[in-house]
């Protein structure tokens, strides 16, 4: 079968016809007749699509109107750039307001927390103040020597009998010589306690706890001095002279 070049299509057909111009070519495709466009008058454009190929005059497009505006280096119009700048400015203002409100809220929360913490610390401190004072007083009293503690017990008892501070000093010297204000002091003769009662059981008249309680012993000793010498200073003078009272 003879080859028909008319059946060639595409690039192969073009090359074949270029090399063999005498071969049969495809018949040219019929073309539509040319009809020029006619501009219709203004009064003829009464419908959105006029019949035929009449073109109605239309208003210039928006892009054509914007084309006369000056453009920025990035290809944007000055109006668009101004709008974008306005949007950025409004965004920055909102961001500043948000940040300011957040900072203010954080500051208020911190202040409330600190004030609550200070108040919470102050309340236990005020409540613990009396307890601490009592503890300090007990600790100071404990630090005192036994003689100082017993002398502190005797001082109001001496004052209650109407004796002066001079009489109390005489009493301190007297019982420092006898027992050093030790409620458990004793000797071979049978004397016992702070006033060195002889025998020690004489102090039972002041209380059943005469062996250990310094207040009971001081009570008995002051009664003994009052009944025998009248005052502690007279008892001290007798002790200085005869080494006993």
Q: Give the pLDDT band of residue 117 (cuts 50, 70, 90).
A: low
Q: Is residue 137 assigned to a domain? A: yes
Is residue 151 packed enough to be buried (19+ CB in 10 Å), middle (13-18) or exposed (0-12)?
buried
Per-residue pLDDT tens for 174-190? 999 999 999 999 988 89
> Domain check: are 156 and 218 in the same one?
yes
How many other CB atoms are found less than 10 A from the CB of residue 31? 6
pTM score, whole prediction: 0.44
Per-residue pLDDT band at 11 (split at 50, 70, 90): confident
Domain assignment of residue 64, yes or no: no
DSSP bridge pairs for 71: 77
Task: For Cα atoms 39, 40, 41, give the angle at the middle one, nearest 5 degrees.
Answer: 120
Q: Are residues 139 and 210 in the same domain?
A: no
On whether both 139 and 150 belong to a single domain, the answer is no
102 and 174 share one domain: no
Cβ neighbours of residue 131 closer than 8 Å, sequence gap 6 or more: none
Phi and psi at residue 39, to the nearest 5°: -80, 120
pLDDT digits (tens, 9 = 90+) for 152-167: 999 999 999 999 999 9
Instruction: Examine the domain organization and report whether 134 and 107 are in the same domain.
Output: yes
Residue 4 lies in a domain: no
Do 138 and 226 fall into the same domain?
no
- What is the tally of structural domains in the chain? 2
Interstrand relation of 38-39 and 54-55 (parallel, antiparallel or unpaired): parallel
Q: What is the mean pLDDT of residues 74-99?
A: 69
Coil vs helix vs strand at 185: coil
Q: Which residues contact 54 (CB under 8 A, 6 or more apart)?
A: 37, 38, 39, 40, 44
Confidence of residue 106 (pLDDT cuts 50, 70, 90): confident
CB atoms within 10 A of CB 177: 14
Tell me how far apart the alpha carbons of residues 29 and 197 are, in angstroms, rounded to a whole number: 156
Distance CA 195, CA 174 (A): 9
What is the helix (H) or strand (E) element at residue 26, kind and residue range? none
Classify residue 5: in a domain, yes or no: no
Helix, strand or coil for residue 198? coil
Give the residue with greater pLDDT, 24 vs 211.
211
Is the bond preceding residue 183 a cis peptide, omega within 30 degrees?
no
Q: Can you tell me the distance from the alpha carbon of 236 to that of 243, in angstroms, rounded to the nearest whole number?
A: 9
Give the pLDDT band (50/70/90) at residue 85. confident
The DSSP result for 131-167, as a single string, is HHHHHHHHHHHHHS-HHHHHHHHHHHHHHHTT--HHH
Q: Give me the residues paired with residue 55 across strands.
A: 39
Q: Are 194 and 182 in contact (CB under 8 A)?
A: yes
The reply to whether 118 and 171 lie within a common domain is no
Give yes or no: residues 186 and 237 share one domain. Answer: yes
Looking at the structure, tell me whether residues 127 and 211 fall in a common domain.
Answer: no
Q: Which domain holds residue 201?
A: 146-242
- 214-236, pLDDT tens digit by residue? 999 999 999 999 999 999 999 99
Q: Are residues 118 and 202 both part of a single domain?
A: no
Same domain assignment for residues 161 and 216: yes
The reply to whether 28 falls in a domain is no
Mark which of 82, 117, 143 sits at the end of a domain: 143
Asked whether residue 126 is domain-assigned, the answer is: yes
Tokens at 224, concatenated: 């003994």
Residues 232, 151 share a domain: yes
Contact indicator for 70, 76 with CB cutoff of 8 Å: no
């Amino acid at each position: 079968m003879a080859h028909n070049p008319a059946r060639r299509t595409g690039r192969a057909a073009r090359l074949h016809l270029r090399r063999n111009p005498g071969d049969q070519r495809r018949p040219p495709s019929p073309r539509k007749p040319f009809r020029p466009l006619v501009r219709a008058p203004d009064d003829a454009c009464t419908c959105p699509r006029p019949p035929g190929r009449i073109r109605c005059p239309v208003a210039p497009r928006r892009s054509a109107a914007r084309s006369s505006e000056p453009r920025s280096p990035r290809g944007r119009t000055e109006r668009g750039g101004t709008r974008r700048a306005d949007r950025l400015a409004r965004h920055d203002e909102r961001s500043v307001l948000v940040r300011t409100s957040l900072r203010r809220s954080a500051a208020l929360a911190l202040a409330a927390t600190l004030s609550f913490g200070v108040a919470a610390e102050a309340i236990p401190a005020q409540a613990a103040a009396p307890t601490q004072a009592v503890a300090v007083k007990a600790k100071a009293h404990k630090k005192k020597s036994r003689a100082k503690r017993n002398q502190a017990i005797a001082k109001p008892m001496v004052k209650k009998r109407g004796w002066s501070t001079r009489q109390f000093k005489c009493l301190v010297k007297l019982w420092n010589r006898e027992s050093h204000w030790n409620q458990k002091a004793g000797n071979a003769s049978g004397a016992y306690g702070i006033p060195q009662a002889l025998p020690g059981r004489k102090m039972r008249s002041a209380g059943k706890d005469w062996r250990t309680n310094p207040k009971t012993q001081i009570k008995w000793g002051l009664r003994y001095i009052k009944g025998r010498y009248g005052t502690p200073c007279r008892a001290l003078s007798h002790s200085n002279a005869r080494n006993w009272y």
